Amino acid sequence: MNGQKIKRRVGKYEVGRTIGEGTFAKVKFARNSETGEPVALKIIDKEKVLKYMQAEQIQREIATMKLIKHPNVVQLYEVMGSKTKIYIILEFVTGGELFHKILNSGRMSEKEARRYFQQLINAVDYCHSRGVYHRDLKLENLLLDAFGNLKISDFGLSALSQQVRDDGLLHTTCGTPNYVAPEVLKDGGYDGAAADLWSCGVILFVLLAGYLPFDDTNLLNLYKKISAGEFTCPPWLSFSARKLITRILNPNPVTRITISEIMHDEWFKKEYKLPVFEETKERNTDDIGAICKDCEVHNVREKEDQPTPMNAFELISLSEGLNLENLFDVDQGFKREIRFTSKCSANEIINKIEEAAKPLGFDVQKKNFKMKLKNVKAGRKGNLNVATEIFQVAPSLHVVKINKAKGDTLEFLKFYNKLSTRLEDVVWKTEDDMDDAK
């Protein structure tokens, strides 16, 4: 032996260092041994996919990316599968996130911001022409290549046109709170193209201003601002840039500017270059089911319903003071119902509550993101029964409702105080909360 380290291979790809890691996937640098081309190899653990019930989302991401080939979208090259893993081979993008560019350098000149925005609009327009709506456009999902060109990534929350209901609208509440369109917060359904465009408007604002147009530690205040389209452009923006942003961040999706109208806007058209690329034939997606087969079979058997979606207006009706600064304050008086907000997944929240409640003497029953906790010991008014339910506000944001179903209210509050100390890592804490804790 010559002492050289044998490189791991997946098909024709030589696998190198880890460049990213998530809940159920790792992204590794790899190289095509035939061409020498660097690629990003996304390795998805099927067992974890089952645990977190993500098979449908992963299949959707793969199917979506197979439909798209555009210079400003991260390219999917190939998908392979083994008994325990799914391998997605993607374009290797070296320039980092656009988010970090803003974080490190601050706001951009209008010329630089316009170039990125033109590339974003071109790519989004192309996706929509293929019946694909991203639904989670934000700076963190916009990458830059070695030449400084924008690349849209992360289609995990995307919707295909087949998911549109008979009314012509999408009905799943998703997206990141600060970037989400006001109509997505409501129950009436929304047009995927108009919702994506709103997110593009938020991105343009951040590029030019260096901060978010809609931001508040109070979740309800944030949603009220979004629903009213309540924002102020900084004074350094040109009149034409302000005018375009205002037309995009119009809370009424019916009168909101369209992509076609943006492309005729005077600010947008400056130094505009139409992307030139070769259209490819529609690629076959039949192999996706076979690759995800093990996940799919188990997923059908084990999958539960998603947490009940909760829009901003339901939140308002639940509480007038649902403030992220004091959501988990144990000194809330003699209440029979208490709520907190979490950025953990619904399954993580359920598991954490179960882990916290059992040592306190409670039996736990779980069904469809609802839980019943029953104290085995009788109290002043019999056995204390506690009901919990998880509501989804966005994919990365849940509201957890805990209420006394039966028993003594004082005993419920004592139980809650003990439970709260065990759930500190589950609750979403704002920067203000962290400062207060110091």
Residue for token pair 């024709």: 12
3-class state of residue 36 by DSSP: coil
Query: What's the distance, Cα to Cα, between the start and end of the chain in Å?
Result: 57
Alpha-carbon dihedral 29, 31, 32, 35, rounded to 10 degrees: 140
Please choose, from the candidates 323, 382, 371, the residue with its C-alpha nearest in 3D space to the C-alpha of residue 349: 371
308-321 burial code (b ≥16 CB/10 A, e <16)? ebbbbebbeeeeee
Alpha-carbon span 167 to 382, nearest angstrom = 50
> Is 359 within 8 Å of 347 (Cβ atoms)?
no
Q: Which residues is 389 bridged to in the sheet? A: 370, 401
> Is 87 within 8 Å of 79 (Cβ atoms)?
yes
Backbone φ and ψ for 322, nearest 5 degrees, come out as -75, 85
Backbone φ and ψ for 385, nearest 5 degrees, come out as -110, 130
Alpha-carbon span 79 to 81, nearest angstrom = 7
Query: Of residues 45, 125, 136, 433, which has the active-site annotation?
Result: 136
DSSP 97: B
Give the chain's length. Answer: 438
Alpha-carbon span 166 to 276, nearest angstrom = 35
Please choose, from the candidates 262, 258, 282, the residue with its C-alpha nearest in 3D space to the C-alpha of residue 270: 262
Confirm whether residue 42 is marked as ligand binding. yes
Residue for token pair 């709506």: 133
Handedness of CA 213, 218, 219, 221 (dihedral sign): negative
> Is 70 within 8 Å of 126 (Cβ atoms)?
yes
Whether 286 is catalytic? no
3-class state of residue 275 by DSSP: coil
Between the CA of residue 106 and those of 101, 208, 265, 359, what are the distances in Å?
7, 9, 26, 49
- Please report, in range form, the residues annotated as the binding site for ATP: 42
Active site residues: 136
- Please report, in range form, the residues annotated as the binding site: 42
